[in-house]
Amino acid sequence: MSNEILARVNSDKTEARLVIKPGFDQDMVTSTTLLAIATGAGLQVGPSVERAIEDFVAAYVPGSEDVEVVISTATLPERGVDGWIEWFDGFDPTSMACADENDRAKVDHYLGQNYIEVMPDDVLGVLHNPTDGSDGVDVLGGCLKATPGKSSPIKIHSTLDLDAEGKITVNTQGVVSLQNDQLEIVQMLVIPGCVDFSSGHIDFAGSVTIRDAIRTGFNVNVEGDVQVGGLIEASEVVCLGDLVAKQGMAGKGRGRIEVGGDVVATYLEEVGGVIQGDLKIRNSLIGCNLEIHGDVDSASGVIRGGALNIAGVIKAKTLGAESSPATRIYLGQVPRLQKCLDVAQEQVSAASKTLEINKLEYEKIVSGSSMNSADKERATELMFEIQELEGSIPESISTIDRAKLSIEKSRKLNVEVASGIYPGVELVVGDQLITFDKTIAGAISIFWDKEGRVLCKVGSGEARPVEEIAKMSSFQVDLAA
């Protein structure tokens, strides 16, 4: 019988089958017989095995081929759960600041990660330990060992405290960072690659180092410094500190920078914006429209095309180039102070007009033959407003005078060009336009003398009026240019 009915167990002991050879007498296929064979094979026999045998016996029909039936399967082990962090509300650094992804039409893929500012004693969440899992049982009753879960790959930096219960507590002010499986609080955010769809826009309270490029359409807005290792494409960079662009910026007419400190760049091309500090360019400044409140140092590079408003000293190897678009540079202006002055003058003008209107209305009311209660109330209001305006306007005028004096003291005209100035270069100095219509080769300096005249020196020559090397004409200054 053993040659005609077999119990087979697979190699990993997760399944057992009964095999009945062809032609076996159906009357001999009983539950008792098959249970005896299963037991003899070492199977762990329980209710499920008994039911499987009974069902098989009821359905068995002899045939010309082997008849097989699975009578037992193992209880497989349950793998342990890997260690993980349960983030508390508002502290998950993996969350994205984007629209509901269920509404695909509204998802903005340019939006970046949600950088989370924290203070000491903030609790980010709980680090859960891995679990062991549950062992299983094979068809012979042996143990199938469970695979325990792995520890969380996230390492907890010293800027965080981890207690025995897994609670993760902040111990320094900063921003939550989770990069390369390290959780820490940082004051300097490091973007290991590009600012692109993988990072989204960067909006950060500290300083940022970007190892690679800033791709077109992705913006960076930070309260500290920005350092970029790759090319800045047609993007917007706003920072209160300094900007270092190691490979320069190709703005394509759409790039813009708003920098509270200094800018150091290999080159800037077709970039607009405002630089509150100095600008240092290694190679070229091409087709830019910039307001620069400090000095410009491009001693080894070329400045050509665009419109620049420069408050300080300018150094360049060359100004303009052969067949270059016009290069206009506003000099001797102090944009920041001038804008404040313009606002103050507009306010004084508006206040003076209001004062005149109020006086006329007041005179009209009090000169009438009779005044009702409403007239008296309005006259009182007007008198109060007139007194306030008469007191504030002289103060504003005094402020304007001080601003004008500050502007006069801050004005600079110091242009140093090492190799030459090309046709098409225009220098706007106050209300004068200096136009170069021929190439002036060699080292050139342009400056004011004590009397405020614009002079120049070419090579080692004597100082002489700039009209001797360029055309001079009157010009209506437009600081918004």
For the segment 388-442, what is each residue's pLDDT rounded down to a tens digit?
A: 888 888 888 887 887 677 666 666 789 999 999 999 999 999 888 999 999 999 9
Cα 354 to Cα 296: distance, rounded to the nearest angstrom? 43
pLDDT at 106 over 60: no
Residue 98's pLDDT is what?
39
* Pairing of the two strands 236-239 and 249-259: parallel
For the segment 267-295, what is each residue's pLDDT rounded down to a tens digit?
A: 999 999 999 999 999 999 999 999 999 99
For the segment 203-235, what is each residue's pLDDT rounded down to a tens digit?
A: 887 899 999 999 999 999 998 999 999 999 999
Residue 346's pLDDT is what?
86
pLDDT at 69 over 80: yes
Cα 249 to Cα 53: distance, rounded to the nearest angstrom? 78
- DSSP letter string over 397-429? HHHHHHHHHHHHHH---EEEEEEEE-TTEEEEE
- 302 neighbors 419 (Cβ within 8 angstroms): no
Strand partners, 236: 256
* Pairing of the two strands 160-162 and 207-210: unpaired
- 83 neighbors 151 (Cβ within 8 angstroms): yes
SS3 state at 149: coil
End-to-end alpha carbon distance in the chain: 105
CB atoms within 10 A of CB 443: 14
CB atoms within 10 A of CB 227: 19
The closest alpha carbon to 77, from 141, 132, 136, 131, belongs to 136
What proportion of the chain, given as a percentage, has pLDDT over 70? 91
The residue with greater pLDDT, 68 or 159, is 159
* Pairing of the two strands 414-421 and 440-441: antiparallel
pLDDT at 83 over 90: yes
Strands of the 123-128 sheet, one edge to the other? 84-87, 123-128, 167-170, 160-162
Residue 398's pLDDT is what?
83
What proportion of the chain, given as a percentage, has pLDDT over 90? 55
Cα 348 to Cα 395: distance, rounded to the nearest angstrom? 10
Residue 102's pLDDT is what?
43
Averaged pLDDT, 43-52: 90
Averaged pLDDT, 188-193: 87
Tokens of residue 442, six digits: 């060699």
Residue 219's pLDDT is what?
95
Averaged pLDDT, 79-88: 95
For the segment 131-177, what is each residue's pLDDT rounded down to a tens digit?
A: 999 999 999 999 999 999 999 999 999 999 999 999 999 998 888 88
The pTM of the whole model exceeds 0.85 = no
Residue 245's pLDDT is what?
97
